[in-house]
Structure 1
């Protein structure tokens, strides 16, 4: 057992930007495993005011630090307490950096419980100190006080040591083999554990209840499973769904009412469920706008489950956000299974499926473990995977916390189409992806996301099992996701990697790539004529690769110079859309000439790869080492050669169906070529909706002035049935919209200052409780710095996206401390669900119009006779409705929506925005009346 003495340290700070942040409290705890030996705690006086949000977070008030000593008065005592003990801390680099700024130096080992936990506690949903403490059953009172945090850190560290010591000696040696490849700050902790383990190897009894050690790569057993799922089989029962049965499920004395005391049915929810049942019965597409509070998830889940279990057919449910996906799979569907079981109804199965890249490929993982050529990021990723594999059921990357470039390293061990040999793989039976795929084949309800739904169509990769029934929730996002998934991007690095994957020479006559592997793979006994044709094709490709590399550099040098000239006057938007006017410029025609040469070279390479693929297919697999992998590699490279030639040709030379642009990343000095479809409607209609017996698209925002026409046109559903359901909430009583009539318009002088002053005065009288939505980060930051000090003087904290923490952390703090103003941009316009008084004021600072020079928006606008009225305004109304929907989230909520954009009053289109909202009172008046009105309405 480890009997060393450690010291856990923690500091609290003013929470200001780096360079101005100051200490307000320091603490340390010396401990020997599970025994606390001594403690040290001291408040520290900063030289600047203590922000209110820090007082709330820590409980340390300005008066508490006003008479505290400065750090230079207590630093010596603190250093003497720490001595030379190994230092433990949670994200300890921050604590040490703050102490070093005060002149303290540390030479002893340091151990980060955050980093250790990501290794030894994979699958923990959150790695915050308080979350880890709760997970291991350690009380954590007064979170964010230095001494308490230090004590809890010591407990967490002890638990992590328990886990580390429970690993087998073989597993530890394998970990040390990886650690020795990199500069690993906690190496000595693992070395110490190995020494102790070795010393006690013959005396230490087995310790029941500890985690099972991860086997070495030679003794890995298949991950535990739940038995082999059986694919769904049609029942032959073609009876239509009974609408009365659907309604009865929602009745007070029905299954829902029996399970939830005080349950009250909602008429819109029942109406939607019956409409979805009708879509299943009639095989007609349906668009549903269901206002906030309808309970649309159950409205489509219940008829979907009824239909799937009766027919023995699969229903796919697609969402846009992870939050909704998790809510459906981990909350709503299990609850529905319980309710139906309690009511004696037929059971149903459900599963969650993600794209290939989310799953660990055991074959690639084992190969990478044996590799001697690993960079530090790859080693750190492997360490995490090594300790995770024995415990994971799903092999899903979401269970791991991979940092920064560890995510890039994951691409060496995930499942990819170009490396997966399917049932011919020796690890096929235990393959995480195919296990998930088999589970999906056996499920009545399959939950996916929009990205996978569209990518599966575009690549025809058949990740999803066959299905004829589709529910799309958050359907207002479908066009954007389809556009993204159907886009094509390439840069110089990708082009060069493609060429290197075919053949590359290195120092000391090192060679790699496909052409270097072929001769060794073709054994004696292979048909001589076939081998000769493969060699001839290789000889054709090699000189073309040399010319291709030269052409790549020449092309991208020309493209870089062209873009720099064209965007030099715009430092904020690094994108250049390629329009007919741009392509007529002499400099661009020079690019086209060079790219035409590149196209010819790629044609030669593609032809050679196609010949190699054809000849490989003529061989017996047994005659070629690694035949399956080799064939897939050739297929992938051949496809890439064709794709990059054809799709980049569309970008360089133009295609009416394609939006093309160049993006210059000045920081990384990279240039990316991108092509996106001008329209996704035809593809969605032909390849998705026309192929399905049932297509239901649901959202809270699909109509403009009660019309679905805009969305139907965008998504390719001209003949779909429509259902618009009002929210069960009484917006007339619960909400008020106020539009100041005298505020400057966004492009007028004084607008930004007016927003700042309005927020200060309004939030002062409402006591915070405000979410302010912005359309640009620079406006958010400018407002944050302007309103923070005046509002903190009123004991109202200001939090901002991108400044004060993650989205989840910001929302948690906003809910916990009502006297708060939260400023958010894009991701806060939807998916924010704050019930109760914590959110009583919603401020929309500016109508969320698209940036006019965004390539996709600009190109699509040109298809309309009235681009602004027919495209820009409807698109913005849908976003505006999403933002508006953040305020009222329950029947008890009450609040005011302030729109600080006078264009709702001054422009003709303004009334369209208001007519698209639920039936809500709208008031206009001077800006100076806003605080009085807000205070009166909320009281």
Structure 2
């Protein structure tokens, strides 16, 4: 499989699928061939023209090919022609993107369409601007040397280079140096504080009408929603009392445009930004697209609406440069890594914002080339050196920060918003002046879309974890790489420029390094933790059997004449963090049951196990004291460094060095956020556990517990685990309210599912429960409320079934999923409460469904991010998709592509320690009601995936005969609900969907 062809017409074409694959041989023979025959046939043919080579190999159950790929992958050609355009990685997805087929035509495509796709892409390539052609001519020699299979075809498709513009090695290298060509941002005058002009209800309605236009689909309640939410954009009357609006808008209300209308007016009137926060990345992009109505000009929209995520989501130019230089220094046979690098170069010149995760870089990019590449070129280790970076003014992250400072809409996610709010709230006044507040600014107006996720997001944002991975990560951040092939840069290296200007820093940093080496886990900690546990659990030899411990240590003479015990010389010094982790491990083994100890994970690793921290045995408390001292020894030099930098910042001249000032500010923020705040959190947690908890009157503030989990496969190839001490707020919305109430003036929380639909409560009780759950009860000013019903006719558009005769035995469950997906002829979303059950069902049915032309995709199996999986599902009308929580809450697939939702069982909350404590203390004395509330909310979200438009039709199925009737109120009023055996339900579903 090594031949290359001058023309793609000489190559066979392949669309592999379960059932009959479509293959066109080099001599033009068209074959519909089963997979079992296809594998042998392909061995006799040249490398084919296909789509998504790695996925094709997995489908054929063939081992992965080492790079460079020998086949002609149309996704690579698409990347070359349209480097910053996403497309579903299927034949239908590419054909639709190139307008080659009718969107309403759902006939399975045959392999001949691949030639048409290739020809169209090559034609589009030939018509692109001369500057793009010149760039490609410079890159083609690099691609040829790297072994790119498309090289000859693309070269022939391009117009010949202009005379005098031929490629040479220097030009090839220069064209890869994207960091030297990107536009640079320039400083702008600071934005004045936001004004306080209100938005009236009438203004909000008029703005909405103007945005929608006369041709818009009428949505009852949308104008009412817009006018009600304008309350969040009125000025507050008292300090620390933001105006809060809780707005529940049923599916189909049009809530996004409903809040954009008053928000855009407020932003214009007051020259400030409204921060819109979502729970999922996919919705961030969706909201940005909705803003096209407000900003039809793409250039203006780019400036006025800015998506913000954490730094780890963006391309880091310094990392890209490091990887490029490394590849340039390799011998020619090791340069296949240039193929994805060339595509990243073309993408970086075209992308809007450098967002690697969920932006305009296709979600299948990593799987197509090198899965770990995107992690390598993003700043996943928090090593940004800010203004000391030579590419600081070209940095995509810094571009986004500065655009956000002058935008009208900043579209963020709950995690970023809450971490930013927490940072602004915790920053000590004596540490830094106002200019060290979060680099993203201090917003005064928020919209929390997907607001029902606020408790979960706050729980993640405000919890504390001390674990082997967390402690080792901090050690790596401070010390850098300690052997191996890591490119991690330590503080000494990252702060070299500051040490040149502030020489006293050197000794402080050396003290920090020394304390970190002594206090935090050394490389290899996970292996030692695993070995120690294995030794504890392994029966010890009897006293009559000799052991290594009984063997006396032999003295070993040294060259200088001294004598030592050799074992003493090899014994590493005491390590407080590792010793504490081992004590946690011992404590957990002592507390959990024998059944828990024998439970294994899916890959043979330890399953997740946990136990209460209290009561604490004496040895664990003593080791906590030792670790506490070690952590304080790290904090002491770290605190001195921060104060020294702060003094340098405050002592700037009247005409300060702006670059040096920015460098100081960025370094202080990094030191505080990445190290000092984490260490202080660990210290406060350790101090709290030094004493037995005093009997409390009222609610406890925190829940402390120990947890053991398997190490991620990427961290350790052999068996191993991590152990963690966790501290969670019992009610995480308390710090949520505390962090936001002082700086926020207006807060809108909206979702289709703010309230529980309990059958025993009236509207007032439902709102009060929602306010407690969302944390608005902790604000001084009580919220306003609004509820808009969904305009959909659920009685006629939907059916719901509870299947009464399907057991939980895996083979029976799989048969039920298969039968349901077949009766719907695809267009089905399967939702699971456990990943291993999802994988088991997929394993049993994906081939059988494929034989009937129903492709099956699955989260945690297909190597694509969730947004790409949803795009594929939406595009492949008769496909099915399996997923877990993220698919339950984040899928928006209107139309016929989603006509069935199947849940494998009732989505009860996980019965862990954290849930136990919250149901005990936050349920108002009715723990069962607390469980029911969470479950009904999940059912509401799952059902909400089904109907997205007025002409949608669909069925909801749950394969759990034990689902109690009290949970059925989660479904919208009017939904016909039946408890039926599977066979009867299948007949009813067939009649409903196909009438």
TM-score between both structures, scaled by the size of structure 2? 0.70
State the aligned residue count.
Answer: 851
Moved more, 882-891 or 546-555: 546-555
Moved more, 556-565 or 874-883: 556-565
Shift in alpha-carbon separation, 1:838–1:530, aligned structure 2, 3 A: closer
| Separation (CA, whole Å) in 2 of partners of 1:758 and 1:530 | 66
By how many angstroms is 1:682 displaced? 0.9
**Within 5 A, what are the aligned runs for 1:535-614?**
550-556=575-581, 559=584, 566=592, 567-572=596-601, 574-580=607-613, 584=616, 590-614=619-643
* 2:474 paired with 1:502: no
Shift in alpha-carbon separation, 1:450–1:674, aligned structure 2, 3 A: farther
* 2:405 paired with 1:447: no
SS at match of 2:599: coil
| Partner residue, 2:539 | none
| Separation (CA, whole Å) in 2 of partners of 1:768 and 1:138 | 23
| Separation (CA, whole Å) in 2 of partners of 1:243 and 1:358 | 38
By how many angstroms is 1:478 displaced? 1.7
Residue of structure 2 aligned with 1:15, choices 8, 14, 18: 18
Contact 1:842 1:896 in 2 (8 A): yes
| Separation (CA, whole Å) in 1 of partners of 2:448 and 2:783 | 14
| Partner residue, 2:724 | 673
SS at match of 2:950: coil
| Partner residue, 1:56 | none
SS at match of 2:135: coil
| Separation (CA, whole Å) in 2 of partners of 1:223 and 1:465 | 23
Contact 2:13 2:48 in 1 (8 A): no
Residue by residue over 1:154-210, the C-alpha shift from the partner in whole angstroms, topping out at 9 and shown as x without a partner, is 77579889999733787678x68xx99xxx5549969x989x99xx99945589xxx
* 2:223 paired with 1:270: yes
By how many angstroms is 1:821 displaced? 6.0
Residue by residue over 1:886-937, the C-alpha shift from the partner in whole angstroms, topping out at 9 and shown as x without a partner, is 2333333344444444445xx5xx3354166334344556666534544555
| Partner residue, 2:201 | 243
By how many angstroms is 1:862 displaced? 3.2
Contact 1:273 1:299 in 2 (8 A): yes
Moved more, 798-807 or 835-844: 798-807
Contact 2:499 2:505 in 1 (8 A): no
By how many angstroms is 1:677 displaced? 3.2
SS at match of 2:248: strand
By how many angstroms is 1:412 displaced? 6.0
Shift in alpha-carbon separation, 1:123–1:548, aligned structure 2, 3 A: farther
| Separation (CA, whole Å) in 1 of partners of 2:379 and 2:930 | 40
* 2:958 paired with 1:917: no
| Separation (CA, whole Å) in 2 of partners of 1:513 and 1:408 | 21
SS at match of 1:336: coil
| Partner residue, 1:691 | 743
* 2:660 paired with 1:657: no
Residue by residue over 1:577-616, the C-alpha shift from the partner in whole angstroms, topping out at 9 and shown as x without a partner, is 34145x545xxx5455444333323322332343455556
* 2:291 paired with 1:333: yes
Residue of structure 2 aligned with 1:858, choices 897, 913, 916: 916
| Partner residue, 2:305 | 350
Shift in alpha-carbon separation, 1:205–1:45, aligned structure 2, 3 A: closer
SS at match of 1:167: helix
Residue of structure 1 aligned with 2:769, choices 704, 710, 734: 710
By how many angstroms is 1:881 displaced? 0.8
* 2:949 paired with 1:873: no
By how many angstroms is 1:639 displaced? 6.3
By how many angstroms is 1:430 displaced? 3.6
**Within 5 A, what are the aligned runs for 1:384-533?**
384-397=343-356, 398-401=359-362, 403=366, 414=378, 419-420=383-384, 427-460=391-424, 462-489=438-465, 491-492=467-468, 495-496=471-472, 498-499=474-475, 501-502=478-479, 513-514=490-491
Residue by residue over 1:692-738, the C-alpha shift from the partner in whole angstroms, topping out at 9 and shown as x without a partner, is 22111110111123412333112211222222221122334433444
| Partner residue, 1:145 | 110
Shift in alpha-carbon separation, 1:537–1:716, aligned structure 2, 3 A: closer
By how many angstroms is 1:633 displaced? 6.2
SS at match of 1:722: strand
Contact 2:828 2:898 in 1 (8 A): yes
SS at match of 2:291: helix
By how many angstroms is 1:349 displaced? 3.6
| Separation (CA, whole Å) in 1 of partners of 2:839 and 2:483 | 48
Shift in alpha-carbon separation, 1:615–1:889, aligned structure 2, 3 A: closer
Contact 2:366 2:373 in 1 (8 A): no
Contact 2:386 2:663 in 1 (8 A): no
SS at match of 1:399: coil
By how many angstroms is 1:817 displaced? 7.3
Shift in alpha-carbon separation, 1:662–1:392, aligned structure 2, 3 A: same
By how many angstroms is 1:763 displaced? 6.5
| Partner residue, 1:775 | 833
Shift in alpha-carbon separation, 1:132–1:490, aligned structure 2, 3 A: farther
Residue of structure 2 aligned with 1:307, choices 246, 266, 282: 266
By how many angstroms is 1:826 displaced? 2.5
By how many angstroms is 1:416 displaced? 8.2
By how many angstroms is 1:661 displaced? 3.6
Unaligned runs of 5+ in 1: 17-22, 30-38, 49-68, 340-345
Higher relative contact order (CA 8 A, sep 6+): 2
Residue by residue over 1:621-658, the C-alpha shift from the partner in whole angstroms, topping out at 9 and shown as x without a partner, is 999x9998799668856765545544445666766524
Shift in alpha-carbon separation, 1:387–1:561, aligned structure 2, 3 A: farther
By how many angstroms is 1:259 displaced? 3.4
By how many angstroms is 1:122 displaced? 3.0
Shift in alpha-carbon separation, 1:711–1:105, aligned structure 2, 3 A: closer
Shift in alpha-carbon separation, 1:4–1:827, aligned structure 2, 3 A: same
Moved more, 782-791 or 715-724: 782-791
Contact 2:51 2:75 in 1 (8 A): yes
| Separation (CA, whole Å) in 1 of partners of 2:879 and 2:517 | 65
| Separation (CA, whole Å) in 1 of partners of 2:488 and 2:739 | 43
By how many angstroms is 1:880 displaced? 0.8
SS at match of 1:289: strand
| Separation (CA, whole Å) in 2 of partners of 1:312 and 1:576 | 51
| Partner residue, 2:695 | none
Contact 2:268 2:408 in 1 (8 A): yes
Shift in alpha-carbon separation, 1:930–1:310, aligned structure 2, 3 A: same
Shift in alpha-carbon separation, 1:490–1:626, aligned structure 2, 3 A: farther
Residue by residue over 1:123-181, the C-alpha shift from the partner in whole angstroms, topping out at 9 and shown as x without a partner, is 131373645677678889997533442564577579889999733787678x68xx99x
SS at match of 1:390: helix
| Separation (CA, whole Å) in 2 of partners of 1:347 and 1:95 | 37
| Partner residue, 2:786 | 723
By how many angstroms is 1:12 displaced? 4.1
Unaligned runs of 5+ in 2: 237-242, 425-436, 523-571, 690-700, 758-762
